[in-house]
Structure 1
């Protein structure tokens, strides 16, 4: 059985998309075919309006998956405002060849919005304001052919880009002061770490109900190995100092990939592994192989500088083979 994660980078239709969906589909379909995934976690799938329907739907994704095996898979996604349809941008979508028995979105259910009073904002707020995470976690219980349940949690943590601060930006990517940028970067880090904390608390709930639960967490963590967000999610024994808790820690599978191949994005010439699959100790015993398909990746900063988005994605998909 193969489980994969892939950030498809703002999959959308014109006019919001710079490229026709046919161009993107032609680039993405071979990538999806090579994954040959039974369960596929996607990030950054945008929603579209269709005539006579109030809610947004995943029309662009439907166009890409048309004619592929994934078109017949069961599907869940994160929701739009008030639970209607899907969100405008950056939905999480989980596709499964096997039956999805339950789904759950977790969004400030376990971690309330932190309150923070900005110090560089102009004007400066008189009271602390809530800091809201960018998006939910998407959990699914999937019934495998053996009858076992596999819990798959699809994640997309906040990117390491400074959050907006009132009065501190001259344009979209130009800051007025270094202090303003620094506070924006701090806020982005708070959101990313907060999402990771909510993930860890969800895992604690799952392990409390079943210490031997089969769990996979897959997605774009926007964090490299040993960064704060991953350390919170993994809960390693060397961090807790308590060997009795080791059964609740997760295993970061891409540590098995050779160093020269271990990268899922290329940013300004620097390879980074930001997309990951983590598994519970019970599931770890079923792992046979992990791959990152990064052979065709270009440098995202070069593409951005030229104003020419990739028809595929600047993220490489990651796939694990499981003996289940």
Structure 2
């Protein structure tokens, strides 16, 4: 049995940084909460997001039992990045950053500024776990928590809110298409591929479902048991296998939502056993992420899947 998971660690910075805790005591409480949950999961590999200081990830590893290997992508402008914690050595590391071919640069603000690459590069890694060879892509797409000029989290008016929601949505869509393009290049009909991370939208959103590839054969549909030519290019979202009462990875303004996902290729979909989320004491987040500064643990729940080796 191979255990894989994805978890947004929420601003894993050492004390002293703008987004990090204000005291050593808060930092130690955060590390202890994260390490306790990772110990409960007992993953073979865990995709992680919102790692700030690489040294902070080292501190977290120091709280875990056994030997671990880590790999990190380059950070975004806020200093956070995606990566992996794995029991076995990570190989074939490669970043995914520039937008997929033929995608035009995406406008991001009222000044007309554009971007042509992912804000946070995705990271590819190969691992071997219990004899099973896996290729994984860890990603963290553009947040749906909007920010406005000057670092504001509230718009001046509803017109500004609507515009910046469009900018964010277009950027998240381009990033999703870029990850899908990377997955398409990796899929060769037999590769055991896992795409996982914080997609910042639910399982039915267009920016999530475009990662599936060819439509049809989704889990829980009549087409799932009918093989067709599209299977070799598809990714299956494991969201529907999570028990309904646990099908959420964050609570936003009091509403549970599943924005963290695990998708597997045709070579793995029949190997999937239990899929679930892990309880954490996160509370509900708001449109101001500063409200959780210094809190222990994370505002996300890990999503975990067990694969038969």
1:73 alignment counterpart: 68
Q: Distance in 1 between matches of 2:106 and 2:239?
A: 35
Q: Distance in 1 between matches of 2:107 and 2:289?
A: 33
Structure 1 residues 172 and 287: alpha-carbon distance in aligned structure 2, compared to 1, 3 A threshold: same
Structure 1 residues 239 and 257: alpha-carbon distance in aligned structure 2, compared to 1, 3 A threshold: closer
What does 1:116-127 align with in structure 2 at a 5 Å threshold?
A: 121=110, 124=111
1:267 alignment counterpart: 252
2:31 alignment counterpart: 25
1:114 alignment counterpart: 104
Higher relative contact order, structure no. (Cα contacts within 8 Å, ≥ 6 residues apart): 2
Residues 1:322 and 2:307 aligned together: yes
Q: Are the counterparts in 1 of residues 106 and 116 from structure 2 also a CA contact under 8 Å? A: yes
Q: Are the counterparts in 2 of residues 5 and 277 from structure 1 also a CA contact under 8 Å? A: yes
What does 1:226-265 align with in structure 2 at a 5 Å threshold?
A: 226-238=204-216, 243-265=228-250
How far apart are residue 306 of structure 1 and its match? 5.7
Q: Are the counterparts in 1 of residues 35 and 63 from structure 2 also a CA contact under 8 Å? A: no
Q: Are the counterparts in 2 of residues 10 and 89 from structure 1 also a CA contact under 8 Å? A: no
Structure 1 residues 247 and 136: alpha-carbon distance in aligned structure 2, compared to 1, 3 A threshold: same
1:162 alignment counterpart: 146
Q: Are the counterparts in 2 of residues 111 and 197 from structure 1 also a CA contact under 8 Å? A: no
String of CA shifts for 1:234-262, please: whole Å, max 9, x gaps.
Answer: 12524999952133111111211222221
2:162 alignment counterpart: 182
String of CA shifts for 1:54-90, please: whole Å, max 9, x gaps.
Answer: xxxx1111112214136x2222110259xxxxx8621
Structure 1 runs not aligned, ≥5 long: 48-57, 82-86
SS at match of 1:98: coil
Q: Distance in 2 between matches of 1:133 and 1:104?
A: 14
- The CA RMSD measured in Å over matched residues stands at 2.8
Structure 1 residues 316 and 183: alpha-carbon distance in aligned structure 2, compared to 1, 3 A threshold: same
Higher alpha-carbon deviation: 222-231 or 241-250: 241-250
Structure 1 residues 6 and 288: alpha-carbon distance in aligned structure 2, compared to 1, 3 A threshold: same
Residues 1:151 and 2:131 aligned together: no
Residues 1:99 and 2:95 aligned together: no
String of CA shifts for 1:5-64, please: whole Å, max 9, x gaps.
Answer: 1100011111221343212112211111001001011100002xxxxxxxxxx1111112
2:180 alignment counterpart: 200
TM-score scaled by structure 1? 0.82
Quick check: which has more Rg, 1 or 2? 1
How far apart are residue 103 of structure 1 and its match? 0.8
String of CA shifts for 1:127-185, please: whole Å, max 9, x gaps.
Answer: x7445431111011113442x531011010111133545xxx6x612322322221211
Q: Distance in 1 between matches of 2:82 and 2:263?
A: 17
Q: Distance in 2 between matches of 1:252 and 1:27?
A: 28
Q: Are the counterparts in 1 of residues 238 and 262 from structure 2 also a CA contact under 8 Å? A: yes
What does 1:208-219 align with in structure 2 at a 5 Å threshold?
A: 210-219=188-197
